[in-house]
Structure 1
Amino acid sequence: MGSPFGCRRPACSAPVEPRSSPFRGPAEAPVEGPVEGPVEGRFSGSRTALDPRRRVSSHRDVRPVFTAEGLRTVRLLVTGGAGFIGSHYVRSALEGRLTGGDPVDVTVVDKLTYAGNLDSLNLAHPRLHFVHGDICDGGLMMDLLPGHDAVVHFAAESHVDRSISGAAQFVTTNVVGTHTLLECCLRTGVRRFVHVSTDEVYGSVEHGRSDERHPLEPNSTYAASKASSDLLVRAYHRTHGLETSVTRCSNNYGPYQFPEKVIPLFVTNLLDGEDVPLYGDGHHVREWIHVDDHCRGLQLVLERGRPGATYNIGGDTELSNLELTELLLDAVGADRSRIRRVADRKGHDRRYALDDRLIRDELGFRPRVAFAEGLAETVRWYRENRDWWEPLKKRAALSPHRPLREAAAALPA
């Protein structure tokens, strides 16, 4: 079936030929007979299934593999790859910045909801295949997954404000969609699965930092849906032996971020001569990580992370929202009178802070982008790329479901 972007949906009229994989070892024949049990979405045609008696015995690095025919590139399926972090990961992987120059083939699956943007991807890249589709469509996932070595799962509804008034979509995409992917990976033999989650699943942290053993205490519908999906990923490792890893990161920033999030919203408002809406007293604290650093951490987890493990990916920079706002005002050359106080949102967590010693000790991760440098580069990018963000902001301002912060910053009539 065609798509509006000229991308072909693969047919699945016969079982996909099995082949060797950097983590599956020698190819195994598909299991004969029907697949048992329901999966959300539509299925058609024959399927390649994973023998339920088989269990993961070892984990191998996700790196290019030398075969008798020469170097075979790793094939990744990236969900939500047209979003902010996902598109950055895809661009970095295809350019070799995450793999040391080693080639990788990437299939991006994205539903292209309001925050997805094809302009964030180089669709002409010969090793990029884009599919316009929904991760809740089990039939599509069963068609796409065979032949891929790993899934990097970004696709999610992610804005807390939107989850307050539109919880159903968050549960559908973040929980049902993740379950659909896991089940389809199990049935098609794709054993490596990296699930991208958030520090918000730990809830508000008054003192100290949350390590990976901290209880999950989500307070927003968004955070609850992500915590639920984290637990599903854990269950598919413990029960079925999928080589899953979960990552939980702090707040990301950088180029190509949709202009409803605080940094691009405030920067673009200021560039347009508008005020910036600051929630409550402005003393809510967040930790910040540049999207470059987050993607490097994800790649380390993909290549060398322990199956079944969770890794926090922190950014070393804690700021109150007021402190961040003042830095943005200074970067744009605006004074403090541009701050407009708005009522706090429901259930607004006071502070997030990650303990990321595990990924540092096990995988050698360290953030490289200093916050001052990264913020200056980000502000400069939004100054120079109005053609990218202005249409998105106008489209979002017209949405009847726009969140409080966005509504407060809506374009003037």
Structure 2
Amino acid sequence: MISSLPSTQATANSKNDEAVEVTFLAASGAPDEQEVYDELIAEFRKENPGITVKKIEVDWLLYHDKLRTMCEGGESPDVVMVSVQYFAEWADKGYFLPIDGYKSDAELEIGDFYPKLIDMFTYRDNLYCIPKDWTTFVIYYNRDVFAKARMKQPSSSWTWDDFLNVAKKTTADTNADNVIDRYSFMVETWADWYLNWVFLNGGSVFDENGEWLMANGENLNRNSGAIQFLADLIFVHQVAPQVDGALSGIGCIDAFKQQKIAMCMAGYWGMKMFSKIDDFQWGYCTLPGNSVNASSILGRGFAISAKSQHPEAAWKLVKFLAKPASMKKFIRFGMSLPARQSLVVSNEYLDIPGLLKNQPHLASIDYLSDPFVLQLEDATLPFNIPEWEMIRNRMEWTFDEVFLGNQLAKVQLLILDHWVGKNYPHLKWKSITVEE
């Protein structure tokens, strides 16, 4: 296992008395975020004239393959942005430098970061990333549609039964041609999205020791029940469009903006995406509980390459990008919540440009009542399992048959379970005990 590089040795190796160049691999998901990075890098250069920063911008869809290629090809960037979905695999492969030795750096103020986010980027008792941002999931809803249907706005205690009742009453044939013009909801088919419903139903995928148990015991019914509930929204209750139908090409964000659906489940990026809506009012609330209240959590962080030739200079850049003043600049990007508690408690994170101008009623929300923050306490951390990316990909492929209406969720879960047991027996796959 790679150990944290002592500060004195790192200083000697990086020759801090000479000018050095640090490469920073940044995912280009939106122009706003890249503008913030460029601004911060310029500020960093002024404060650290002996360090130049070469930013390598890669399209988000290609980012993870690019990082894998660079790390395995001997061209590792010094600083990388890491998405938690890929973190465990890359940490296990030794891509990153453990940074536990830097936690005592007073300028970092490690205690200001949410402990759950520190845990999220800890692998086998080593911290590898400084958290940048995070999001849980919420339900965005069209307040005007709810009012017209005489439905109360959802409360934090609403249930799946409440959700289904609302969904039925907000699905409408608006022009009486026997064709649904506005559905209530849209089912997404990526695992990090629908696993929220698995957790809400009291289900599990792995236990605390990393043992696969998605089809073991009561999990078989809980997990398949959650997936089937979503499929039934499409084929039984007809309150959601078919995933390969006319709306499949636009996704729930655009469908919500175009008022083709009344509710949309998404992360904090919806706040930015919906901030310019001025033709209807919208709100957002916690996910509907069933067995428990829950949400999954996504996040990103900054890591130092294990092969960096300038780890001390790289650390200075990471620390600069993660300081409160820098994170505050990302707020205007508005796609995620800051990892620092101080920026959440101060309510500064809610200052998204244009939001209150178009949705003034949202001014009443603060961090104590914000559904994103409320769900953080009960959020399920991403799985720190190196094999999770491959299992997740197989899961999506397997459950697609359910969301297309071709197969029942329980059948597909058993197929997935068999595949995991065959390909990853070291995950201590257990024999199935079905509880009807």
TM-score, shorter chain, exceeding 0.5: no
Bigger helix share: 2
Which structure's relative contact order is higher, taking Cα pairs within 8 Å and 6+ residues apart? 2
TM-score when normalising by structure 1: 0.28
CA radius of gyration, larger in: 2
